[in-house]
Amino acid sequence: MTESPDRVPKERISIELKRLPWAKDLSETALREFAEVGEWVQYQAGDYVHRAEEPMKFVYFIVSGRLQATLFDSLGNQILEKSLVRGSVFGLFSVAIADQSRTNVVATEASSVIRLELQTMLKIVAKHADLQMCVYRLAAGIVKQIIEVDRTLSQPSVVGMVHQSEASRPLTRQLLTRLQQIESHPCVATDDPQWRPIDGVPSRVIFKNGELFTAQQSGELLKEWSQFGRIFIDLRGNHSLEHLARMFSYVDAVLWCVRPDDAKTAIGTLRALQERVAGLKSKVRLVWLLDNQTQVAPHEPEQRQLVERDFKVSFESPSKQQSRLLQQGIERIIHYLRGIQIGLALGGGAARGMAHLGVLKALEQNGIVIDMLAGTSAGAMTGTVYASGMDADYAVECFKTDLSLPWAYRQMPGGGYWYLLRKYRKNKFDPMLRKYLGQARLEQLAIPMLTVTVDLVEGVQVVRGTGDATHAILESINLPVLSNPRVSSGRALVDGGLVNNIPADVLVENGCNFVLASSVTAQLEQDFMDIRSARTTPKFKLFSALQVLMRGQLVQAFNMNAIGVEPADFVIESDVSAFDLSEFSRADEMAIAGAEAANESAAKLKQLLSQLDPKLFPPS
């Protein structure tokens, strides 16, 4: 603890209270009395705010920074872990329990809280009906989070925008303009002397005569703007480390905007700031500004140590062979600011997985922006290619061309399966995919992509979110018998469909709070090798071992659909049961079936999204 409560002016406590979302509707009288009795306490990273073996004496209202709360059961087993950020509260329930609290709370970065003793809080709450209602809402929010009814993620209310060059300055305007459409009163403090005001968006230039506002001036501005819902602090990245560190102390999150040419400089600045700003990584989101020639972000090995996640954005219109993923990057940032992350799980199903490309195209055309993809087997292949920025229609044509049967295989019974066997055994998938992906890594793609495979050594699923994108696909589509396991780092990796054919659960585990699933195995044709469709039952039928194997995989996927897909909020089921598992030559027809299924579901899907955030997804 670095500061005693009585050293902080009560006026500052009142100002900081006004900036908290839950306190915005409090009367001036309630705010003033809360500030009078509240104690301001600051913690450094690593400080214990509360230990599990001690009784809970206070209720804590988090003003800035980040705390980590860990709950234990009566036997000392950890049962819950949660980050607490600005606007969170803890101790609201534990403080009323006579027994000792079983919660550890540790500051993971420099943090400030307002704390009240139980009796003090009860007295002030009893006096003010509006404060009483706020406390009830806070308690209800805690209950919602525990039972997973409330899915909203944290929504940073003070956002830093750092521009490594002037090229990314338009992003601030676009974000503010979009937020103005769905929120009330965003505002911006900027060091841009050329800033052109936006109607309805209060702004202040805070860089004059070569100097930024002082700490006192910044504090006065935050006080003046305490009633606004979202504050942006917009700066160039070439300010002193002292000024940038001070900006970090004010904000909940930082969008650090870079072009590929600026990456080394940005990483160097962030590395230097890491020594000054505790918990820097948890606040920073890198925003890559890309163009049509640079569809894939650079690979910066240090990035994952310095940055929580990234976004890829482009101001240019896509070329004919490119999707709109980069142009949608701005909307993904809006999703993040609104506490939304939409994931789409793509299931396995051999050639039938081509229907996923139709689903992806239809979602794009319906204005449904996906923040993260996860795929198994064919879902990993189609999803990764799409996540690289390739247009879905163009990808369909590429797969159709690359996997169409040569003349000799078209003359053979089950020729499609023998052709796939050859592609696997001769390692032909690698060069085929590298024509489009090159040496790109998963973390460089336009949106996050997770692939699922299975390790035969430990018998567990392996989820890839980093590393060579082509290798990640090859691991996930690696059907046993058709191909040998891919051995790497003590693992023997095969097709992920063995344990998780539609990995919606993987998206939930990675922070998505609304999950879609695209299934191509929900419907299974009730025939195999024309056994039922034949006019007479043959006395003997020669089954191809490959056809039996692929049918077995399909039956397994059909029966496992409910496992990984269970957490999905919405499932799009494409009826591609009329297509053979090896018919990649009909990829365009399957994509049409996927698009039809997605378009038929679009209205209902939008209705569900409007329940999640009616401002971001207004009901039609």
What does the buried/exposed string (b/e) look like for 292-320 if buried means 16 or more CB atoms within 10 Å of the residue's CB?
Answer: eebbbbbebeebeebbebbbbbbbeebee
Give residue for tokens 């609201």: 92
- Average pLDDT value for residue range 471-493: 87
**pLDDT winner (highest mean) among 7-16, 186-195, 548-557:** 186-195
Task: Tell me, rounded to whole angstroms, the distance of Cα 169 from its chain centroid.
Answer: 24
The residue ranges of DSSP E strands in 322-403, in sequence order, are: 342-346, 372-376
Q: Are 248 and 233 in contact (CB under 8 A)?
A: no
Domain ranges of the chain: 10-147, 158-335, 340-612
Q: Is the pLDDT reported for residue 536 higher than 70?
A: no
Identify the CA nearest to 328 among candidates 313, 317, 318.
313
Cβ-proximal residues to 395 (8 Å cutoff; 6+ apart), any chain? 357, 382, 385, 386, 436
Q: Which fold has domain 340-612?
A: Cytosolic phospholipase A2 catalytic domain (3.40.1090)
Q: How far apart are CA 91 and CA 101, in angstroms?
A: 9
The domains spanning 10-147 and 340-612 adopt the same CATH topology: no
Q: Give residue 6's pLDDT.
A: 46
Query: What does the pLDDT average to over 476-505?
Result: 85
- What distance in Å separates the CA atoms of residue 115 and residue 4, rounded to the nearest whole number? 12
Are the C-beta atoms of 594 and 587 separated by less than 8 Å? no
**Residue 495 a catalytic site member:** yes
Q: What is the mean pLDDT of residues 324-342?
A: 96
User: Of 255, 388, 396, 366, whose CA–CA distance to 318 is shortest?
Assistant: 388
| Catalytic residue (one of 157, 377, 476, 601) | 377
Among candidates 566, 569, 567, 564, which has minimal Cα distance to 604?
Answer: 569
Question: In this predicted model, what pLDDT tens digit does every residue of 122-147 receive, in sequence order?
Answer: 888 888 888 888 887 777 776 665 55
pLDDT(67) > 90: no
For residue 420, name the pLDDT band (cuts at 50, 70, 90).
confident
**Predicted local distance difference test score (pLDDT) of residue 75:** 65
Amino acid identity of residue 206, one-letter, is I
Higher pLDDT, 290 or 545: 290
Q: Which helix (H) or strand (E) holds 456?
A: none
pLDDT of residue 261: 93
Distances (CA, A) of 332 to 233, 259, 338, 339, 356: 20, 18, 10, 10, 21
Query: In the block, which residue shows the tokens 């606004």?
Result: 228
pLDDT for the residue 94: 64
Q: Which of 371, 495, 505, 580 is an active site residue?
A: 495
What is the model's pLDDT at position 541?
44
Predicted pLDDT at 515: 95
pLDDT tens per residue across span 156-182: 989 999 999 999 999 999 999 999 998
Q: In 3-state terms, what secondary structure has residue 418? A: helix
Is the pLDDT score of 537 beyond 90?
no
Residue 103 pLDDT grade (very low, low, confident, very high; cuts 50, 70, 90): confident
C-beta atoms surrounding 510 within 10 Å: 16
Fold of 158-335: Rossmann fold (3.40.50)
Lowest mean pLDDT among 22-31, 154-163, 268-277: 22-31
CA distances from 181 to 174, 185, 317, 610, 612 (A): 11, 10, 23, 15, 17
Task: Report the pLDDT value the prediction gives residue 215, as an integer from 0 to 100.
Answer: 83
- Strand ranges in 151-252 using DSSP code E only, listed in sequence order: 158-163, 186-190, 203-205, 207-208, 211-212, 230-236
Which strand (E) or helix (H) includes residue 578?
Answer: none
**Quick one: tokens of 397?**
């044509």
Residue 377 is among the residues annotated as catalytic for this protein: yes
Q: Which CATH architecture has domain 10-147?
A: Sandwich (2.60)
Count the neighbouring beta carbons within 10 Å of the beta carbon of residue 338: 19
Note the pLDDT of residue 101: 67
Q: Would you state the pLDDT for residue 330?
A: 97
Q: Contact at 8 Å (CB) between 286 and 254?
A: no
CA distance 356 to 385: 11
pLDDT for the residue 527? 39
pLDDT score recorded for residue 2: 47
- The 3-class SS string of 153-168 reads CCCCCEEEEEECCHHH
Parallel, antiparallel, or unpaired: how do β-strands 203-205 and 186-190 relate?
parallel
C-alpha span between 585 and 521 (Å, rounded): 19
Buried b / exposed e across 81-114, counting CB within 10 Å, b at 16+? ebebbbbbbbbbebbeeeeebbbbbbbbbbbbbb
